[in-house]
Amino acid sequence: MTENGNVFSLGDKHPQIADDVFIAPGAQVMGDVTIGKGSSIWFNCVLRGDVNTIEVGEGTNIQDGTVVHVSRRTHPTVIGSNVLIGHMAMVHGCILKDWSFVGLGSIVMDGCVVEEDGMLAAGAMLTPGKVIGKGELWGGRPAKLMRTLTEEQITSNRTASPHYAQLAQVYRSELKVD
Ligand SMILES: CC(C)(COP(=O)(O)OP(=O)(O)OC[C@H]1O[C@@H](n2cnc3c(N)ncnc32)[C@H](O)[C@@H]1OP(=O)(O)O)[C@@H](O)C(=O)NCCC(=O)NCCS
């Protein structure tokens, strides 16, 4: 258990969390979950590594109210470094590569892959096994290719995760119970 009491072992499955990770109060992380340096898990997220594994790389942010889960035997969830996952997303049994962007309120289902700099628009549902190519923007329910992002949009998307990583360190040092 952490000082927030929100990191749990499940039998012999112990979360492995780098020292400077910010896990906000109300977030819950359990079982076979690995979280790399500088990542942040915001308020009321659930990362449930029970029947398969969850990996989160470095400098990644998983924003408030997001649920990350897995499928038994078939689909672990692998989230790379500097990934942005917006508020209230549902990320299930999929692979999100470095610098990918999952819009707020969107759903990523089993077997999906979001390649580097790939983006899923807010409110989208990426159905099982779909692959968002490098630098592509997909949106809608079910999600379809909307367009390819410009270099400027990719550069702009890439500013968000470092910003979140900084904000997380502010929260680590300044957040206090009133
Ligand atoms: C998709 C997105 C990148 C906007 O792309 P865009 O190409 O600039 O879109 P525009 O605002 O110019 O709108 C173009 C069309 O796409 C539609 N559109 C915009 N966002 C959409 C979305 N999320 N899903 C489906 N359609 C969308 C617009 O309604 C518009 O349709 P129209 O031509 O029929 O009027 C943006 O809406 C988005 O989803 N950003 C993610 C924000 C987020 O989740 N942040 C994380 C929290 S920090």
Topology of the domain comprising 7-174: UDP N-Acetylglucosamine Acyltransferase; domain 1 (2.160.10)
Alpha-carbon distance of 60 to 166, in angstroms, equals 11
114 touches 95 (CB < 8 A): yes
Domain boundaries, the chain: 7-174
Please tell me if the CB atom of residue 140 comes closer than 6 angstroms to any atom of ligand 1: yes
pTM of the model: 0.97
Q: What is the pLDDT of residues 31-68, one digit of tens each?
A: 999 999 999 999 999 999 999 999 999 999 999 999 99
Summary mean pLDDT of the chain = 96
CA of 91 to the centre of ligand 1 (A): 20
Q: Is 105's C-beta closer than 6 angstroms to any atom of ligand 1? A: no
User: Which string of DSSP letters, residue by residue, matches 147-174?
Assistant: EEPPHHHHHHHHHHHHHHHHHHHHHHHH
Burial-class residue 59 by CB neighbours within 10 Å (0-12, 13-18, 19+). Answer: buried
The confidence score (pLDDT) of residue 5 equals 73
Whole-number Å distance, alpha carbon 27 to ligand 1 midpoint, is 28
Question: Does ligand 1 lie within 6 Å of residue 76's CB atom?
Answer: no
Nearest CA to ligand 1 atom 48: 86
Pick from 134, 84, 139, 86: nearest CA to 114: 134
Digit-by-digit pLDDT tens for the chain (178 residues) are 444 579 999 999 999 999 999 999 999 999 999 999 999 999 999 999 999 999 999 999 999 999 999 999 999 999 999 999 999 999 999 999 999 999 999 999 999 999 999 999 999 999 999 999 999 999 999 999 999 999 999 999 999 999 999 999 999 999 999 9
